[in-house]
Structure 1
């Protein structure tokens, strides 16, 4: 029986350092996982990329493939984009697809692939009026944005607690999407 394919995407916020543990947890939940990172997140995790590839049996991607190049990943059943930074959320909502992972989620929403996004921003970023507009735009596209009550809640600048990032919410939502209850 085929395991559901989870694309686990992350951008450069401190919780991205927990990706090896998140991959292990997602595999334990029955997912086949493909990891995608923004270029900065890939630099932050450079030493862990071989481990992530070993854990997933897939190449970690942070760049678009060349035209005509065969896609090495299976098709996604669900995408989790967490942590999603201020830049990634706004770029995605505005359709600015300069980063591979932002391009995949922008196209994925149009293809009807279920997407769970959980921002990781501080309260100073969250106070920018574009951020709320971007969250609402993504929600209007059918993206499950776990932000605010029942999702990620911003901290004050410099007071982040990456160890408290609510990964269980994002993975739980992805699991519920691929295993709907009657």
Structure 2
């Protein structure tokens, strides 16, 4: 069983996760969804829990509670916010999602990030540095600056979020049919 964690941050494309989850499952992945606290505002946790068979986690469990999710074999962050990309590159673990991402780097797990800030945030020098650092550390970063939404556009960016490229990258990560 190959386990894919999908970490959803606060962005409108997170509402489209059910389609991505179903695609990953059809490709043989067992999928678990984790959201950042802001990501929870954009996802349908009930629907995602029904699809995955696992609760949608957004906070650390209590130390005496068992872990309800199997260990990840790979992680995809979609959408990844400006905040998450920058904190991840600095090793900050102030959310469950960031804690898992930082541990996954240390474990050498395959990682894919799809940053989705608005264009103005993407032009911030810290963001470019953070993306470069993550790439240097082996994270596959899917980022097309021309497709990012404009600030205050009110546009969900649904038409331009690179779901197809993410599907392709996840397909290349999956262990050979988990045999």
Q: Same fold (TM over 0.5)?
A: yes
The alpha-carbon deviation at position 179 of structure 1 amounts to 4.2
Could you report, residue by residue, the CA deviation over 1:130-161 in whole angstroms, capped at 9, with x for unpaired residues? 00000011111111111137xx8423221552
- Across the aligned residues of Structure 1 and Structure 2, the Cα RMSD in angstroms comes to 1.7
- TM-score w.r.t. structure 2 length? 0.90
C-alpha contact (below 8 Å) 1:122/1:160 kept by paired residues: no
1:89 to 62, 77, 85: 85
Residue 178 of structure 1 deviates from its aligned partner by 1.6
Q: Does residue 69 of structure 2 align to residue 73 of structure 1?
A: yes
Give the Cα–Cα distance (whole angstroms) in 2 for the partners of residues 41 and 169 of structure 1.
21
Which residue number in structure 2 is paired with residue 32 of structure 1?
Answer: 30
Matches within 5 A, 1:17-56: 17-45=15-43, 48-56=44-52
User: What is the number of residues matched between the two proteins?
Assistant: 174
> Residues of 1 paired with 2:7 and 2:92: CA distance?
17
Deviation at 1:105, TM superposition (A): 0.6
Per-residue CA shift, 1:40-76, capped at 9, x if unaligned?
A: 111333xx21211111011110001122322111111
Normalised by the size of structure 1, how large is the TM-score?
A: 0.89
CA contact (8 A) 2:12 2:42 kept: no
Cα distance in 2 for partners of 1:91, 1:104 equals 13
The answer to whether the Cα contact below 8 Å between 1:12 and 1:41 also exists between their aligned partners in 2 is: yes
Contact 2:147 2:161 in 1 (8 A): no
Secondary structure of the residue that 2:4 maps to in structure 1?
strand
Q: Which runs of 5+ in 1 are unaligned?
A: none
Aligned partner of 1:161 among 154, 157, 160 = 157
For the Cα contact (< 8 Å) 2:148–2:157, is it kept in 1?
Answer: no
Mark the runs of 5 or more structure 2 residues left unpaired by the alignment: none
Q: Is the 8 A contact 1:123 1:156 kept in 2?
A: yes
Residue 109 (structure 1) aligns with: 105
